[in-house]
Structure 1
Amino acid sequence: MYNIQQESLFSLQDLLEMSPKDTFAYLFETLDINPFLRVVSKKAFLGAPTQLNYVAMLQSLFIRIVERIPTIKDLRKRLKRSIEFSTDCGFMGSDRIPSEASYTRLIQKLLQSEVFQQSQQDLVKQAFHEGFIDASAVAIDATHVEARDRQPEKKKEDSQPLNTKTPTKKRGRKSKGEREQWLKEQLELEENRTLFEKKVETQASYSYDELVKEIPLTPAWGVKKNSEGKNVFWYGFKAHLVVDCKSQYILVALLTSGNMNDGKLAIPLLKGLAEKHPELAISQVIADAGYDLVPIYKQVESMGARALIDYNRRNEHQEDGMDKYFRPVCKEGHSYRYDSFDPKYETVKYTQPKECSTCPFNDGHCQKVFKKKIDDNQRRYTVPARGSDRYREQYKKRTAVERVNAYLKEFFQLNNIRHRGALAKVDFEFACLTYTACKLTADRLNQYIKMKKSTA
């Protein structure tokens, strides 16, 4: 497993286990509430005066995530029962505890704005300028998020009368007229599909904002394979993340329907990364086999980075003269070794296997060096080359995004989506933003402790 090579004096979990009063104070020193306040507060002085403490309401919603309070109803109960907790959230003695309807109206206002994305972007930029983010290598992955919506019933197939027969398809080759009609129908069908139902390469011409507007956000059935290779089904959403492999900061986060293919969100995530954080010098994008698509390699290349994506064979047969990692093999079946990469000619260099030096069949005619151009097949030839020790060492960094997914579910309520439909996006964004704020807070405390020790 990939271990982060940095000294950790004060961890994220230590911050969450501190006394609530200290945790909240540190958290809101890092997280600026004012942008959220501008979204939810009244825009005019006319009409009835505001009776709600919006600052305290907003702070209590973030505190609900940190304290792992399951519902708004439970949050209100705790605010009513504990004067100390309500004071920590920012409520005064004269303030009345808002109703659930008031919280719902506030959350709906937040949903219609982009305040979460802007605050997340600002925190990441702060972390970068303070030296906490390296971002030379980033990882992409998705995780399932169960919805609170009621699961739809299966549709019953219309039963046909017993005396009728289903029309059978004509077997054999289509005539010229039938084929032209069939091609016309397929073209119309393709044009009427939504953007994320089309092929991945169609996304290349769209901007990040255009892609985000087309993302489906209704709960749907999703399927994944567990560690035993069996299909596991869930009803809900998918959370897609881009994470810095070293610091584990969330750089871009998107929520989609549960039936969305992982690879179809790679280009929106990468475009969002390039647009929102141009200051990051990304050299490597790491992902699993679900992202092994040529348009994704091209998008990574357009960012000036290298893609390190696990190969998905898709029923492809192993070619003669190559091993399973597409390395050349000698007459005795030994794989050539990855040597180096030539950036001038974009070629990967392989040298003779060690076994060839003592091979009795080596008559001096075995080729000593093979060079493969990456552009010949971007899926097969990566930097470093597949199967090499350097490839395995770099690919281990992908576990950073899995670790962040686990953090979000265990400590930041991502596995406890309480709102239905599109409002579930607010729960997701609360979880991601609270995680980022806590991460930056912990890093700042670490830095303060180190400085204090060095000057002591």
Structure 2
Amino acid sequence: MYILQESLFSFEDLLIMHSKDRLPIFFSTLDLRPYAKELRSRSPRGADGHCREGILRALLAAPLEYIQTFTGLHHRLDTDLRFRYQCGRPLDREAPSIATLSRVFANLTKKDLAKQLFDDLVERCRQDGIIDGSHVAIDSAAIHAYEKKQPKKKSKQTGNANWGAKFDSFGNKMTWFGYKLHLAVDTKSELPLALEVTPAHVNDGDMAPSLIEIAAAKTSVRFFMLDAGYDQMKVYEAARNVKAQAIIPLNPRGEKEPPAGMKTDGTPCCSMGFAMTYWGADGDYLKFRCPHATSKVDCPLGMSACSSSNYGMVVKVDAKDDLRRYCSPHRDTKRWKELYNERTSVERCNSRMKTYLTADDMHIWGIQKVKTHQYLNAIVLLASALAMNRQSKEAAA
């Protein structure tokens, strides 16, 4: 079930603006000077180089303008004087060469500055109330590689692009050569909180604990929403370690028989075999009541066979006994389903990065550069949110 969630900003509204209007709004909330300073050459020798802040602006404008290559970016800077000016480049100098753009990008990767800028913008969005962070959805997306395809056995040895496979929403198996983009997304704003890039063959469940830890360090997370592919004990334990609850459907593959007197979803049964009624949680304990007492079933023995109380029999289950099977709120209740439906926010975030930006249109090699490329796309979403939020406040003032 897909639900339409309210967003604090409209990324699509920014996209439909003309470039001459969009870029000034986009750059209005970004102070790139501290990051550009780290990109400057320490050597005093040689002719005056290009302004690193201008090149950094151009690298960020490229995904927003759907410019996929350094060649395309150089051509745009060289032929579009307005674009060059909006990127902070002087009009009386030649546009930076393709080699210069590539070199700055490589330096950005080496110094991990894209991640630093991403983390700083996440914090700014949190402070401005754009990111709530109490509910977080996690999922992965297929990213196709620019590298030449390799046999699976050989590509595993490189640590870069590899063959991956997963099932789409219709149950069809899809394969690709490349990477996986793993995202943790705030479900309220649909903005990324954390990301990782791995070769395509890496299991989603292996990356979830680190994403959970990173997201929890940035915000106070109460719930993590993940699909059935993440139904692994280590994911539940990772959420528990940061005092949050993982909302994950049980994966029927490899499912063992539940304990005696228990349904698969963790609901205890009464002595007549009826599923008991979930009645809330008390700390780590889930409370279940007699289904006859709660009018869920018409038991032929009534309540008297199980309890002398007119409240009916009560069973309490300690969620710590099995973090996977027991969940608060209880699995498949209305509240649990409402929380799980918020997982679609990460799918929409993935879609924006791959459809409107350049996350899945790469012309670079190597997993570290691919990661920088994905950070730049995620930064565009965060900066757009800050810019549109500022526009809204100014319009309301």
Fold match (TM-score > 0.5)? yes
Task: Provide the identity percentage.
Answer: 30
Q: CA deviation at 1:310?
A: 2.0
Larger Rg over CA atoms: 1
Q: CA deviation at 1:333?
A: 5.1
Per the alignment, residue 310 of structure 2 pairs with: none
SS in 2 for 1:326: coil
Decide whether the 8 Å contact of 1:243 with 1:401 is kept in 2. yes
Q: CA deviation at 1:217?
A: 5.0
SS in 1 for 2:198: strand
Per the alignment, residue 348 of structure 2 pairs with: 403
Per the alignment, residue 299 of structure 2 pairs with: 359
Q: CA deviation at 1:121?
A: 1.4
Per the alignment, residue 433 of structure 1 pairs with: 379
Q: CA deviation at 1:141?
A: 1.1
Distance 2:204 2:151 in 1: 25
Decide whether the 8 Å contact of 1:412 with 1:435 is kept in 2. no
Gaps of 5+ in 2: 308-312
- Deviates most, 34-43 or 315-324: 315-324
Q: CA deviation at 1:223?
A: 0.6
Q: CA deviation at 1:65?
A: 0.7
Decide whether the 8 Å contact of 2:125 with 2:382 is kept in 1. no
Instruction: Say if 2:66 is the partner of 1:68.
Output: yes
Q: How many residues align?
A: 385
Give CA-to-partner distance per residue, 1:407-440, whole Å, 9 cap, x none: 1111121111210123222211111111111122
Distance 1:92 1:436 in 2: 27
| 1:375 partner letter | K
Q: CA deviation at 1:361?
A: 4.6
Decide whether the 8 Å contact of 1:239 with 1:256 is kept in 2. yes
Per the alignment, residue 177 of structure 1 pairs with: none
Distance 1:397 1:105 in 2: 40
| 1:237 partner letter | Y
Distance 1:446 1:217 in 2: 44
1:376 to 321, 338, 346: 321
Per the alignment, residue 335 of structure 1 pairs with: 275
SS in 2 for 1:30: coil
Matches within 5 A, 1:439-454: 439-449=385-395, 451-452=396-397
- Deviates most, 83-92 or 136-145: 83-92
1:224 and 1:357, CA in 2 relative to 1: closer, same or farther beyond 3 A?
closer
Per the alignment, residue 421 of structure 1 pairs with: 366
Decide whether the 8 Å contact of 1:140 with 1:241 is kept in 2. yes
- What's the TM-score once normalised by structure 1's chain length? 0.79
Gaps of 5+ in 1: 157-196, 198-215
- What's the TM-score once normalised by structure 2's chain length? 0.90
1:144 and 1:17, CA in 2 relative to 1: closer, same or farther beyond 3 A?
same
Decide whether the 8 Å contact of 2:37 with 2:52 is kept in 1. no
Per the alignment, residue 205 of structure 1 pairs with: none
Per the alignment, residue 287 of structure 2 pairs with: 349
1:93 to 83, 91, 94: 91
1:257 and 1:448, CA in 2 relative to 1: closer, same or farther beyond 3 A?
same
Q: Aligned-residue CA RMSD in angstroms?
A: 2.3
1:3 and 1:102, CA in 2 relative to 1: closer, same or farther beyond 3 A?
same
1:408 and 1:154, CA in 2 relative to 1: closer, same or farther beyond 3 A?
closer
Q: CA deviation at 1:153?
A: 4.1
Matches within 5 A, 1:101-180: 101-153=99-151
Per the alignment, residue 41 of structure 1 pairs with: 40
Instruction: Say if 2:164 is the partner of 1:222.
Output: yes
